[in-house]
Structure 1
Amino acid sequence: MKLRKKSGAIWLLAVLLFCSAAFWGFSRDERNFEISKNLNIYYTLFRELNLFYVDEIDPGDLVKKSMDAMLTTLDPYTTYISEAEIEDFKLMTTGEYAGIGSLISKHKDEVIIAEPYEGFPAFKAGLKAGDVLLEINGISVLKKTTDDVSSLLKGQPNVPLTIKIKRPGTDKTMEKKLVRENIQLKAVPYYGMVSDSIGYILLNQFTDKAAGEIKVALKDLKEQNAKSIVLDLRSNPGGLLDQAIEIVNLFVEKGEAIVNTKGKVSQWDKSYKATKTPFDAQIPIAVLVNRGSASASEIVSGAIQDLDRGVVIGQRTFGKGLVQTTRNLTYNAKLKVTTAKYYIPSGRCIQALDYSNRNEDGSVGKIADSLITEFHTKNGRSVFDGGGVLPDLKIESERYSSLTINLIRNFMVFDYATLYANTNDNISGSKEFKISDQEFDKFTKFIKEQKFKYESESTEILDALKKAAKEEKYFDISEDEFEALALKLTPDLDRDLTRFKDEISDLLAHEIIKRYYYQKGGIEYSLQEDPTLLKAIEVLENKTEYLGILDGSIGLHALNK
């Protein structure tokens, strides 16, 4: 038997015996008895499996999988973090890691540079989006996973790397030399003026520097004559609770209640209030949210709404009202465990899914409508629990055609932008660049040369309906209608390229702009005709409408229910 297997089994035995001994001290408690009994059963099962299973097994891998499977029965946020995953966990909480400063992605069988970050080693070495990674310090990365490649690119700072790449559109391979650096990803990747008097701040994540970066942006925008602020939390998955509290505190008076947490253990029952003098407690605010706004994003947007401190605009948020705490385990591992639910100032919890009461098939249902409760904001407006933050002003989310989605999934837009950037030295500014009719024709030719094909969900549903009609013997009397509908719904590349030209051109322009002006340029381009942002600007420029929403005299929120 391999040494690592013996040590893995011994480690598990030691842990289980310790747990067993601890729990046997409470033998009168039936709950503790059940825990102790089942830990012993687990150990004996594992021992027999390790001794007698026909093939060699990896004890560490089996234990990890068993722990992961156990935790999935609770909620998706209670997770085991092994020592090997600590760096990824650190990146989520601090935005900091040591590497080359680039996103990588799997493209067919190759790992490519998806986006280099401006100012970091990959950018300084001349790596471009679309570059195919061949070798890292002499180690071939062909057919490796993105995790494998990431582990080679990340590591100790100040270590030199030689990266061999293949650049699409050329027959050459190139070697790029660079040095790993400490990379600090910004929580606020962009801020700027979106009108003469309105400042805009995009917050991507709630890392430990988020509130500080927001404050710096606010100071700069006010110096540029910002009289109102748009805070964009769309697709922000959340992060650190304390940063959400600090960000709300920038806009509300000291002593104002922001969020409460309540858990099974009384130590998690806490009330969080604004403890500092605000940066500006009067400046009008519009908070942008969507389905991807979760957790800390919902604390900020929900508190701003409940305190009638600003207008929330967009789509209903995700609905994550659960608080996680990180607990240290042995061997440098950690457990991220849900310890409480959070309640925003009106008293509502916005958790959407009820993980404590699963359906018979194990699925999780939403909070029943009968259990949804009405609460009230500081000014008496009606708000509701049980499913995210409902915005004061709803803006329908943009939906792309099946063709557009498939062009993105199949890297057609990405690959064309790569070839464009490798054959054009420069373009006009990020706010001026557009896809001309001639360029769209070139893109059309490109995707046809790639033999691009796509399916639509509509035809799949139609096929299923056709099958059901045949089984129920209704098809014969409706065959003509099925054929007519199939003719309309079956993908037709030339027809659909013409029909969805505008949205495809928009995405293509965005991808090309990022090759020249990087993340900042891509954001500036996308904000120009952003319907949610445009609505926020309209509301902030109309003081009567803004105040009417907050005092309830304009009953838009009730209409959104």
Structure 2
Amino acid sequence: MNTRLKKWLIPSTIIGAAALTIAAGNPTEKYFEIAKNMDIFATLFKEVNTYYVDEVSPNKLMKTGIDAMLNSLDPYTNYIPEDEIEDYRTMTTGQYGGIGAIIGKRNNKTLVLMPYENFPAQKAGLRIGDEILEIDGVDAAKKNSNDVSKLLKGQAGTAVKLKVKRFGQKETMNIEITRQRIKIDNVPYYGMVNDEVGYLHLTDFTSDASKEVRKAVTELKEKGAKKIVFDLRDNPGGLLNEAVNIANLFVPKDKLVVSTKGKMTDWNKNYTALNPPLDVDIPVAILTSGRSASASEIVAGVMQDYDRGVLVGQRTFGKGLVQATRPLSYNSQLKITTAKYYIPSGRCIQAIDYSHKNEDGAASRIADSLRVAFKTSNGRVVYDGGGVTPDVDVERPNTAPITISLLNKGLLFDYATEYAAAHQSIVSAKKFKVSDAEYEHFMKWLSGKEYDYITKVETDLNDLTANAKKEKYYDDIKEQIDQLKKRVSHNKELDLVKNKEEIKEYLEQEIVSRYYYEKGVKEASFDNDVDLQAALKVLQSPTEYQNILKGKK
């Protein structure tokens, strides 16, 4: 076959798909531009592979080029090669073949961070804090977290052999675990906060998310819940149809949930509530955060637009873009942004404008002054272009530098592991507290351990000193700077006392996790969760709840 003809075959198949996306202009000119640039790219790729001074990997070079090209559009349009399809499938379905545990690196050790309850890792006896030395004879210390994950995953029904070291035991253990199909729950926890308020935490929108939410709400009502806290914080989103079905649980049938609009007009669609709702009357407080995105913003926005619930927390991320997957050659796929979504009030909550980038290629957030006003069913004013703004804004407290250091160094984790080795059981997660005597023991345990840190004030003083020297003011203010440094210089022992309550909160959650896993951590956090406490305050005052929904707050 003629070489020139071969080069034209690839563009022609792309044109066949691309022709559908041409909205304006001369189609012939568009076809020519595509074919021309594909020809240039193919010849350039060939020349680089042939003549570049060092050996290059065609696969890596092509992947780099594709990634750079797609990244110039937005962060959500991605090329998925065949060897990454399984990871993508796990992300969208929540399913994979493995042992059912979160494994991570801490201080160059491969540790079990959280086994999922009732899955192979937990059933085989793996505990939080166990160090994995070998996986099927492969030294885990020489592998990064991604490599370790790949070694542990595999076909359901196959076995993986681990060599494990447990704190307090001299001998290592050999554990064989049979992999199974792991389905990660979208709702890892639901339960009663008090006698009349139920709580559920939705972390993803993979398949069956709506069924899990329905089940959680139904069982909470059976336990006596007359009000619901629906936690969507840090939820990155997922499947659009699951968002529609979840919103449908709380809003009447036939109500518009979301609309999608893009360049392919045939794909523009209105998604309505298709089923009878589960409950359109029960008071609901929805928790949101700056990392609540996409599908979680649809649900939160729908509840706000129909005045169906009160949003509590922080403004959401602002991802109003819809992606679809398209099949490519050799079992690879393209995940591509195809539309923007619009919630019932008519607003799109996309916060970053990728279509108008700065000269340096960076995209910027839509300015608050450019956000357009819309109205909810009750006439409350809401805005587009920057995420969903909560009805009750809650400021999260800053975590002290010493607490961050203790977390990052893994010292709270290590202490909890030692605590669990010395205590066979503890009281329930909700009741467990670290006593003052235990905290004193923890402070002594920290003696000699490295967890130094620098505070923001110290950083600012260092910057001030550097700028003063640069601008030749230092000699004039040196005495004042030295006095300030002495006054703000941190003392680790004093900081341990000053931030005692905050550190105890994190320590309690770490210890509880050793006995009650992920669900216990959630229950242990209730008393100190500022968003949850704000939601409870609203729910426990019917007048305030209704005033917010009516715009009278």
Pick the TM interval, shorter chain: over 0.9
Residue 112 of structure 1 contacts residue 133 of structure 1 at CA under 8 Å; is this kept in 2?
yes
Shift in Å at residue 118 of structure 1?
A: 1.2
The answer to whether residue 358 in structure 2 is matched with residue 364 in structure 1 is: no
1: CA distance, partners of 2:432 / 2:348: 45
Note the alpha carbon deviations across 1:408-447, whole angstroms, 9 max, x for none: 1111111211222223222222112111223223322333
Match of 2:417 in 1: 418
Tell me: CA distance 1:398–1:421, structure 2 relative to 1, closer, same or farther (3 Å): same
Partner of residue 57, structure 1: 56
Alignment of 1:265-280 (within 5 A): 265-280=264-279
- 8 A Cα contact 1:13 1:43, kept in partner: no
- Kindly indicate whether the alpha-carbon contact (under 8 Å) linking 1:211 and 1:243 is maintained by their aligned counterparts in 2: yes
1:300 alignment counterpart? 299
Contact between 2:368 and 2:386, CA under 8 Å: does it hold in 1? no
Matches within 5 A, 1:80-479: 80-479=79-478
Distance 1:257 1:523 in 2: 34
3-state SS in 2 of match to 1:71: helix
Give the aligned partner of residue 5 of structure 1.
none
**Counterparts of 2:168 and 2:34 in 1: how far apart (Å)?**
62
CA separation of 1:477 and 1:434: change in aligned 2, threshold 3 A: same
The residue that corresponds to 2:22 in the other structure is: none
Structure 1 residues 355 and 28: alpha-carbon distance in aligned structure 2, compared to 1, 3 A threshold: closer
Q: Using a 3 Å threshold, how does the CA distance of structure 1 residues 13 and 211 change in structure 2: closer, same or farther? A: farther
TM-score normalised to structure 1 length: 0.93
**Cα displacement string for residues 305-331 of structure 1 (whole angstroms, at most 9, x for unaligned residues):** 011111111111111111111111122
Show structure 2 runs of 5+ residues with no match.
20-25
2:11 pairs with 1:20: yes
Could you tell me how far 1:455 is from its partner in structure 2?
2.5
Give the secondary-structure state (helix, strand or coil) at the position aligned to 1:528: helix
Give distance in 2, aligned partners of 1:539 and 1:432: 24
Residue 28 of structure 1, CA deviation:
6.8
CA distance in 2, matches of 1:23, 1:209: 34
Deviation of 1:543 (Å): 1.4
Q: Is the 1:23–1:33 Cα contact (8 Å) retained in structure 2?
A: no
Instruction: Tell me, in whole angstroms, the C-alpha distance in 1 between the residues paired with 2:473 and 2:66.
Output: 51
Structure 1 counterpart SS, 2:129 = coil
**Corresponding residue of 1:523:** 522
Moved more, 451-460 or 119-128: 451-460
Alignment of 1:546 onto 2:537: no
State whether residues 458 and 489 of structure 2, in contact with CA within 8 Å, keep that contact through their aligned partners in structure 1.
Answer: yes
Please state how far the C-alpha of 1:280 moved relative to its aligned partner: 1.0
Identity %: 49
Q: Aligned AA for 2:246?
A: I
Corresponding letter in the other structure for 1:79: N
SS of residue paired to 1:356: coil
Secondary structure at the aligned position of 2:355 is classed as strand
Cα displacement (A) at 1:492: 2.0
Change (3 A) 1:38 1:128: same
Residue 253 of structure 1: how far off its partner (Å): 0.8
Matched-pair contact (CA < 8 Å) for 2:350–2:384: yes
Structure 1 match to 2:23: none
In structure 2, the CA distance between the partners of 1:449 and 1:176, relative to structure 1 (3 Å rule), is farther
Q: For residues 39 and 408 of structure 1, what CA distance do their matches in structure 2 show?
A: 50
Counterpart Cα distance in 2 of 1:13 and 1:308: 62
Tell me which residue corresponds to 1:6.
none
How many Å apart are 1:21 and its aligned residue?
Answer: 4.3
Check 1:508–1:14 CA distance in 2 against 1; reply closer, same or farther (3 A cut).
farther
- Aligned to 2:330, the other structure's residue is in SS state helix
Q: 1:359 deviation in Å?
A: 1.4
Contact 1:320 1:351 in 2 (8 A): yes
Displacement, 1:16? Answer: 5.6
- Are the counterparts in 2 of residues 321 and 351 from structure 1 also a CA contact under 8 Å? yes
| Structure 2 Cα separation of the partners of residues 40 and 47 of structure 1 | 11
Q: Is the contact between residue 294 and residue 319 of structure 2 (CA under 8 Å) also seen in structure 1?
A: yes
Note the C-alpha offset of 1:342: 0.7
Contact 1:258 1:345 in 2 (8 A): yes
State the 1:268 CA deviation.
Answer: 2.8
Structure 1 contact 157–181 (Cα < 8 Å) conserved: yes
How far apart, CA to CA, are the structure 2 residues paired with 1:60 and 1:378? 53
Partner of 2:221, secondary structure, is: helix
Deviations along 1:449-472, one digit per CA (max 9) or x if unpaired, are 322222233323321221111221
Do the aligned partners of 1:110 and 1:143 also contact (CA within 8 Å) in 2? no
Q: Please say if 1:77 is aligned against 2:68.
A: no
Question: Could you tell me how far 1:86 is from its partner in structure 2?
Answer: 1.6
Could you tell me which runs of 5 or more consecutive residues in structure 1 were left unpaired when the two chains were aligned: 1-11, 555-561
Secondary structure at 2:73 match in 1: coil
Residue 9 (structure 1) aligns with: none
Query: What are the within-5 Å matches in structure 2 for residues 490-505 of structure 1?
Result: 490-505=489-504
Closer/same/farther in 2, CA of residues 489 and 91 from structure 1, 3 Å limit: farther
- Residues paired across the two proteins, number: 543
Task: Provide the secondary structure at the position in 2 that maps to 1:496.
Answer: helix
Report if aligned partners of 2:15, 2:34 keep a CA contact under 8 Å in 1: no
Whole-Å Cα distance in 2 between the matches of residues 100 and 227 of structure 1? Answer: 38
Deviation at 1:515, TM superposition (A): 0.7
TM-score of the two chains, using structure 2 as the length reference: 0.94
How many angstroms does 1:377 deviate by? 0.4
Contact 1:23 1:32 in 2 (8 A): no
Does the 8 Å CA contact 1:206/1:240 hold for their aligned counterparts? yes
- Residue 476 of structure 1 deviates from its aligned partner by 2.2
User: Quick one: structure 1 residues 461 and 19, their matched pair in 2 at CA, closer, same or farther if it must change by over 3 Å?
Assistant: farther
Aligned alpha-carbon RMSD (Å): 2.0
Matching residue of 2:533: 534
Aligned residue identity for 1:353:
I
